[in-house]
Amino acid sequence: MSLLKILVYPDPALREPSKEVERFDSELGNFIRDLWETMLAYDGVGLAATQVGKNLRVCVISWKEHRLILVNPRITGTEGEQIGEEGCLSFPGIFEKIRRPLKVRVEAVDEAGKPFSLEADGFLARALCHEIDHLDGRLMIDHLSHLKREIVRKKLLKRSKEERKKP
Ligand code: NI
């Protein structure tokens, strides 16, 4: 087991669309375990493979009693809308109000390749949209106005400069 390095915006790898998983082997299982442990270690609700520089359609979510491992997930239906605060391990310290569907239906396979589907609403629907967005190279700031996006970008650039100045 090892903790993975989380990429921070504006790392260009966060924009890479991920490839479908085709091999359900022990290498995939080990990667999913590392992704899971990394999410927990950083206190995240979710983490996508894209965020650790791995170009695979895999994401994990841990929220309340929900423990989800999603391989090759697709949103197959949405209903309604909600606006709520969202954060992301690739945007440290940034929390923004973002519009998402109120309900989603997702189809995916598990780490052994077995298909399953689920329906979720509220915060879990938000988390699913957020993580599946990552797999398509889409980020939470893409849902913000141009002006707000610029403010977030400047904040994170300033922070990364300050980080580099630290001894
Ligand atoms: Ni995120």
- Whether 167 shows a pLDDT value over 80: the answer reads no
pTM for this entry? 0.94
Expressed in angstroms and rounded, the spacing between residue 90 Cα and the centre of ligand 1 is 6
Among the options 20, 27, 79, 131, which is catalytic? 131
Expressed in angstroms and rounded, the spacing between residue 155 Cα and the centre of ligand 1 is 17
Q: What is the tens place of the pLDDT at every residue in 120-151?
A: 999 999 999 999 999 999 999 999 999 999 99
- Whether 164 shows a pLDDT value over 90: the answer reads no
pLDDT of residue 156: 87
The domain segmentation of the chain, as residue ranges, is: 12-165
- Whether 166 shows a pLDDT value over 80: the answer reads no
Torsion 8-23-35-71 (CA) sign: positive
Contacts of residue 157, Cβ cutoff 8 Å, sequence gap at least 6: 10
Q: What is the tens place of the pLDDT at every residue in 62-112?
A: 999 999 999 999 999 999 999 999 999 999 999 999 999 999 999 999 999
Expressed in angstroms and rounded, the spacing between residue 58 Cα and the centre of ligand 1 is 13
Average pLDDT, integer, range 147-161: 89
Query: Which residue in 113, 7, 107 sits closest to 50, CA to CA?
Result: 7
Expressed in angstroms and rounded, the spacing between residue 27 Cα and the centre of ligand 1 is 23
Query: Which residue in 60, 44, 51 sits closest to 137, CA to CA?
Result: 51
The pocket of ion ligand 1, defined by CB under 5 A, consists of: 88
Does residue 97 contact residue 144 with C-beta atoms inside 8 Å? Answer: no
State how far the Cα of 166 lies from the Cα of 115, in Å rounded to an integer. Answer: 47
Q: What is the CATH number of domain 12-165?
A: 3.90.45.10
Q: Does 131 qualify as catalytic in the annotation?
A: yes
Expressed in angstroms and rounded, the spacing between residue 130 Cα and the centre of ligand 1 is 6
Does residue 112 contact residue 28 with C-beta atoms inside 8 Å? Answer: no
Widest CA span in the chain: 50
